[in-house]
């Protein structure tokens, strides 16, 4: 007896079991995907925040260095 035959016979014998099980499985899967999406968005937003902070910190140094180099004549 193949696994699919066994599953089919169990689902045929207990149809209510199949619908609740599948429903719960689908709900947990969609919840997992939603959480995954939220975590991804959170990480992207944090990365963008750090990029902006780095720009705010590094650009003035970069501009100071350019002006210093210009004063030196390089």
Q: Quick one: pLDDT at residue 19?
A: 53
Q: Quick one: pLDDT at residue 49?
A: 86
Q: Quick one: pLDDT at residue 9?
A: 57
Which structural domain range is residue 38 located in?
3-72
Contact 23, 17 (CB under 8 A): no
pLDDT in tens, 11-70: 555 555 555 555 566 667 777 788 888 888 899 988 888 888 887 777 777 777 777 777
Q: What are the CA-CA distances from residue 60 to residues 8, 13, 18, 33, 64 (Å)?
A: 68, 72, 63, 41, 6
Total domains present in the chain: 1
Q: Quick one: pLDDT at residue 13?
A: 53
């Amino acid at each position: 007896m193949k696994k699919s035959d066994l599953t089919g016979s169990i689902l045929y014998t207990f149809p209510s079991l199949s619908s609740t099980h599948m429903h719960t499985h689908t709900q947990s899967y969609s919840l997992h995907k939603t959480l995954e999406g939220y975590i991804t968005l959170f990480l992207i937003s944090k990365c963008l925040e750090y990029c902006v902070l780095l720009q705010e910190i590094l650009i003035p140094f970069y501009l100071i260095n350019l002006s210093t180099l210009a004063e030196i004549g390089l």
